């Protein structure tokens, strides 16, 4: 780890205890930098320091003043480390004192990662208001559901008012249309008062195109590598020390100034870094140092498409120290089992045999040949505990990157949705729900943007059409720029008043309650997992245990009733869940008790869960 102390964030404008403003900007490309205050009425020349940093301490800047930097007596630009952009990505920055917020969460202790039940949501479409304040009003609902951690899609300032968040261009600024910095601080504060952890999605592999002024200031990008979004962020080329500092400080800001409990780092496989110390490893070292100073705990979760345990292995084992990762392969194996899809990356998955392997091994591909990738892929994850793997039946990517943005509920039956929920929630991993799935929301979640640059907007439209040109038989890809695309992606909360949707909500509640109450489901010990699949009958038996308790989950993914044998060794198994019961709008209930070795009949697309405690 470098010697710099990032526990206090010096980049941008920070206020001292005496009310003075400390100004610091990295602009090695500039020969002169001025701070232009309140529409340029005041100009404050900055002094040049080492490595391209410009700085000044002044009492002329007050909280909520707007400002820009004028480079070489020419054009003015917003602050690369701006904490607030109230007039959007092209407008001036606003001086913001994050330390002014009055926190009431002193008694809050972040949950151990193994206690996380995650709920991914998009602020703009989660509520009619599309704001942090709107989300705050739904927290009691999420607690009632059984969620312990909300995972918020990116909130870094993006162009316009409608965006998934991955087009952010001001990593330090909180989206103004969501409620800005104070709105996010208040939301986290209330979450902690109610016992909810907060996970924030952050993007360190690219920045969006519109309003991206970082290249004006310094060497933030390198043409050494290509990414799907253009030049890579410069983590290992010339001038990279200060680029690394910028993103490390950003990460620490979320933890320190917003009390965020965990971050989900987007697509870390797209971070290009061949430094002796990978940027993720260095980030983890600084987070560990911050935790030592504050006494608070923070987790780092990654989206990773490499099946490489180096990312999630501890620092002392020469890993990068990430605490957990998303496992798309579990989703893919489950989706193919349910639907038989075989296009794109689904071509790598055979269905129920791969789902069984995911339960056993976390990674489906752990060294064998991948037809989709045309190479051998992955390593074994034998020694990584269950809480390091986050699984799901849907998420923003797997829904929103379909041409029409269909949720799982539009692709499979009501019964299969219930089976999918059981498959995820009773896995030996951390479950994550996608907003609305718990009541079978039928509205799609589609790709939407609101670029103000007409040429860029047209390019996005044409790119989306070209991406799905082969699927024209399904209709036209929705226009990403149209407000309608955004509005029809919003949740319909009124549906919870309808019996079918209320039934699904109660079903999800029951699954999450069982996961919490039964030690064999709550304890994520992968050594006490046994799986038996039958490809011909499309059935799977998942067995989990803890101390003297055993839980067995019988799953039938076929369209026909199937007969399975309950494991021997127990005199009597107690039925704790029957997804086909009329209680859950299912076709037929099963007997409450059954002896070990006896036959039980599973209804089509259903799950039975039995429990026994040995004396």
Spatial contact of 58 and 20, defined as CB atoms under 8 Å apart: yes
Which residues fall in the annotated binding site for substrate? 264-269, 328-332, 396-401
Please count the residues of the chain.
615
What does the alpha-carbon distance between residue 216 and residue 200 come to, in Å, rounded to a whole number?
28
Please give the positions annotated as active site: 266, 303
Spatial contact of 136 and 187, defined as CB atoms under 8 Å apart: yes
- Domain locations in the chain? 12-97, 116-509, 526-613
Which residues fall in the annotated binding site? 264-269, 328-332, 396-401
What fold, for 116-509?
Answer: TIM Barrel (3.20.20)
Q: Is 526-613 the same fold as 12-97?
A: yes
CATH number of the structural domain 12-97: 2.60.40.10
Q: What is the H or E stretch that residue 405 is in?
A: none
Spatial contact of 31 and 41, defined as CB atoms under 8 Å apart: no
The per-residue pLDDT for range 345-366, each reduced to its tens digit, is 899 999 999 999 999 999 999 9
3-state secondary structure of 169: coil
**Best CA proximity match to 328, nearest among 353, 354, 310:** 354
Q: For residue 252, which phi and psi values (nearest 5 degrees)? A: -65, -30
* Higher local confidence (pLDDT), 368 or 570: 368
Q: What pLDDT, on a 0 to 100 scale, did the predictor assign at position 7?
A: 45
Q: What pLDDT, on a 0 to 100 scale, did the predictor assign at position 9?
A: 52
What does the alpha-carbon distance between residue 169 and residue 175 come to, in Å, rounded to a whole number?
10
Q: Which two tokens stand for residue 493?
A: 């909360």
CATH 2.60.40.1180 fits 526-613, yes or no: yes
Spatial contact of 548 and 577, defined as CB atoms under 8 Å apart: no
Helices (H), 59-127: 123-126
Q: What is the H or E stretch that residue 284 is in?
A: helix 279-294
Pairing of strands 12-15, 21-26: antiparallel
Of the pLDDT bands very low, low, confident and very high (cuts 50, 70, 90), residue 615 is low
Rg (CA), the chain: 25
Q: What pLDDT, on a 0 to 100 scale, did the predictor assign at position 26?
A: 97
Task: Answer yes or no: is pLDDT of 475 > 80.
Answer: no
The per-residue pLDDT for range 213-224, each reduced to its tens digit, is 999 999 999 999
What's the whole-number mean pLDDT along residues 385-410?
Answer: 96
Of the pLDDT bands very low, low, confident and very high (cuts 50, 70, 90), residue 299 is very high
Task: Answer yes or no: is pLDDT of 473 > 70.
Answer: no
Task: Answer yes or no: is pLDDT of 8 > 60.
Answer: no
What does the alpha-carbon distance between residue 232 and residue 221 come to, in Å, rounded to a whole number?
6
Of the pLDDT bands very low, low, confident and very high (cuts 50, 70, 90), residue 569 is confident
Task: Answer yes or no: is pLDDT of 468 > 90.
Answer: no
Q: For residue 192, which phi and psi values (nearest 5 degrees)? A: -65, -35
Q: Which residues are CB-contacts of 550 (< 8 A; sequence separation ≥ 6)?
A: 520, 543, 544, 567, 570, 611, 612, 613, 614
The per-residue pLDDT for range 117-147, each reduced to its tens digit, is 999 999 999 999 999 999 999 999 999 999 9
Task: Answer yes or no: is pLDDT of 1 > 70.
Answer: no
The per-residue pLDDT for range 47-89, each reduced to its tens digit, is 999 999 999 999 999 999 999 999 999 999 999 999 999 999 9
3-state secondary structure of 151: strand
pTM of model > 0.95 = yes
The per-residue pLDDT for range 211-265, each reduced to its tens digit, is 999 999 999 999 999 888 878 999 999 999 999 999 999 999 999 999 999 999 9
């Amino acid at each position: 780890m470098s010697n710099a102390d990032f526990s206090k964030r010096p980049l941008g404008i920070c206020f001292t205890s005496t009310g003075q403003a400390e100004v610091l900007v990295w602009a090695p490309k500039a020969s002169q930098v001025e701070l232009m205050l309140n529409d340029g009425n005041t100009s404050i020349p900055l002094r040049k320091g080492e490595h391209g940093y410009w700085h000044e301490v002044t009492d002329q800047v007050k909280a909520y003043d707007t400002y820009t930097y004028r480079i070489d007596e020419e054009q003015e630009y917003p602050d690369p480390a701006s904490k607030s952009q109230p007039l959007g990505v092209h407008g001036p920055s606003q001086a913001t004192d994050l330390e002014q917020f009055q926190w009431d969460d002193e008694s809050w202790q972040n949950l151990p990662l193994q206690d996380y039940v995650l709920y991914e949501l998009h602020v703009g479409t989660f509520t009619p208001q599309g704001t942090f304040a709107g989300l705050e009003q739904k927290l009691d609902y999420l607690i009632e559901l059984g969620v312990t951690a909300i995972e918020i899609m990116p909130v870094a300032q993006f162009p316009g008012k409608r965006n998934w968040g991955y087009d952010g261009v001001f990593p330090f600024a909180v989206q103004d249309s969501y409620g800005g910095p104070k709105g996010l601080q208040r939301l986290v504060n209330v979450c902690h008062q109610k016992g909810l952890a907060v996970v924030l999605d952050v993007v360190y592999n690219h920045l969006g195109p519109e309003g991206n002024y970082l290249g004006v200031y310094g060497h933030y990008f390198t043409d050494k590598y290509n990414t799907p979004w253009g030049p890579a962020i410069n983590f290992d080329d010339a001038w990279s020390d200060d680029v690394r500092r910028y993103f490390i400080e950003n990460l620490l800001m979320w933890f320190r100034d917003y009390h965020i409990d965990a971050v989900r780092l987007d697509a870390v496989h797209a971070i290009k870094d061949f430094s002796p110390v990978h940027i993720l490893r260095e980030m983890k070292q600084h987070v560990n140092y911050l935790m030592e100073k504050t006494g608070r705990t923070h987790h780092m979760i990654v989206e990773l498409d490499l099946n490489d345990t180096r990312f999630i292995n501890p620092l002392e084992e020469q890993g990068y120290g990430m605490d957990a990762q998303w496992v798309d392969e579990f989703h893919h194996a489950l989706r193919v089992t349910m639907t038989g899809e075989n296009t794109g990356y689904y071509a790598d998955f055979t269905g129920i045999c791969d789902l069984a392997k995911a339960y056993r091994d976390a990674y489906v591909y752990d060294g064998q040949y991948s037809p989709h990738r045309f190479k051998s892929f992955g390593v074994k994850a034998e020694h990584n505990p269950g809480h390091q793997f986050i699984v799901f039946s849907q998420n923003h990517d797997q829904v929103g990157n379909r041409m029409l943005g269909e949720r799982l509920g539009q692709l499979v039956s009501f019964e299969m949705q219930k089976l999918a929920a059981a498959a995820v929630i009773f896995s030996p991993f951390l479950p994550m729900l996608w907003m609305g799935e718990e009541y079978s929301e039928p509205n799609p979640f589609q790709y939407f943007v609101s670029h103000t640059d007409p040429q860029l907007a047209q390019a996005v439209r044409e790119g989306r059409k070209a991406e799905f040109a082969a699927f024209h038989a399904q209709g036209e890809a929705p226009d990403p720029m149209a407000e309608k695309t955004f509005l029809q992606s919003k949740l319909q909360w009124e549906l919870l008043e309808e019996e079918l949707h209320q039934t699904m909500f109660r079903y999800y509640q029951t699954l999450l309650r069982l996961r919490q109450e039964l030690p064999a489901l709550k304890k994520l010990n992968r050594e006490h997992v046994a799986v038996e699949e039958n490809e011909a009958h499309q059935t799977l038996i998942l067995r989990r245990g803890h101390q003297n308790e055993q839980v067995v989950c019988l799953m039938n993914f076929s369209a026909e009733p199937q007969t399975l044998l309950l494991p021997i060794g127990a005199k009597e198994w107690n039925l704790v869940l029957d997804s086909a019961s009329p209680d859950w709008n299912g076709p037929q209930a099963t007997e409450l008790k059954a002896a070990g070795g006896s036959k039980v009949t599973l209804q089509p697309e259903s799950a039975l869960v039995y429990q026994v405690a040995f004396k």
